[in-house]
Chain A
Amino acid sequence: MTTDLLMSGQFWTFIILAVVTLISTYRMVSVPLITHAALFMALSFTAVAGIFLLLQAEFVAAIQVLVYAGAITTMVIFAIMLSGIGDIKAERKSKVKVWHSNPFVVVVGAVFAAFMLYLYSTANLPKEAAGQNMAKVADIGMSLFTTYVIPFEVASILLLIAMVGAIILTAKEAES
């Protein structure tokens, strides 16, 4: 690690956002109340959106804030509220720490992360980032509506089916 890297603001911004992401994700596991876990999930998503901005993917960062930090967090909190107060309070005792949980589970997560880190350390990866991102959001939209128009339409059908399925699963039976 060069002092050049340690002096750059990009590095420290990344470190701060990564620490926020990892701590809030860890707290998602360890916090007893599930509503708090949902809020920590929103914090984790927002910090990852900051890292997307750092990687010059501003469109993905905006979608991340809209879809993940906005919509999915709201949906999860609604599901928690609708699924009954008793279940929310029942979790209060079940505080999970790394040293309390099943060792096999910890090993699975840790081995996966260590394996990926080992692969990255041996792979021949580019040392430097590519140049400035020349693409604008309009270019992304253009490729989405020309080259990738069929996957785009399939995704819209998937969202429609998901919406219909969610309504059918949760709606009350019609009075017969």
Chain B
Amino acid sequence: MQLPIYYPLGLAALLFGLGLWGALTRTNAVRILMFVEIMLNGVNLNLVTFSRYYWQSSPEMAAKAPILTLFIMTVAAAEASVGLAIILAMVKNRGVIDVDKVNLLKG
């Protein structure tokens, strides 16, 4: 008996919802970046689940399944490195890590 497709898809949706909740609840910039990673991870789980349940049994089709997941991981790594660098510059220049206190552009 195979695992029904709804279980991993439901887990991915819950993971994304939890990440969304955390990113909107917390004000620490590093922690918000962590929740963005969690949300991207939920998306990856969704993609891997669909590729598992939809691929044809040919190696050519199955070999193309993880490509988009790989690119999402690449972009996530780039986003995390640049985001953390921006946060470190923010801490260095303004001395705050709380996104609520970064209000220089506020009218």
Contact = CB atoms under 8 A, between A and B. Distances in A.
Interface in A155-171: 155, 158-159, 161-163, 165-167, 169-170
Contacts, number: 252
A108 B22 CA distance: 11
Nearest to A18: B11
Contact of B82 (A48, A132, A135, A165): A165
A63 B74 CA distance: 10
Most chain-B CB neighbours within 10 Å: which of A63, A109, A136, A142? A109
A105 B32 CA distance: 14
B65 to A, nearest CB: 7
B58 A96 contact: no
Interface of A is mostly: helix
A128 B4 CA distance: 6
Interface in B61-94: 62-67, 69-71, 73-82, 84-89, 91
A121 B44 CA distance: 20
B73 A79 contact: no
B69 A112 contact: no
A130 B63 CA distance: 14
A60 B63 contact: no
Given A129-B3, A158-B74, A169-B89, A25 B66 contact: no
Contacts of B6: 120-121, 125
A22 B14 CA distance: 8
Nearest to A101: B25
Contacts of A51: 8, 11, 45
Contacts of B58: 134
A129 B55 CA distance: 9
Interface string A141-163: 01110011001000100110111
Nearest 5 interchain pairs by C-beta: A113-B17, A109-B21, A135-B62, A139-B63, A162-B78
17 contacts: A5-B3, A14-B3, A29-B22, A52-B48, A72-B76, A76-B33, A76-B84, A84-B91, A96-B26, A109-B17, A110-B17, A120-B5, A125-B53, A129-B3, A134-B59, A159-B77, A169-B86
Interface of B: 1-11, 13-22, 24-26, 28, 30-31, 33-35, 37-38, 41, 44-45, 48-49, 51-60, 62-67, 69-71, 73-82, 84-89, 91, 97-98
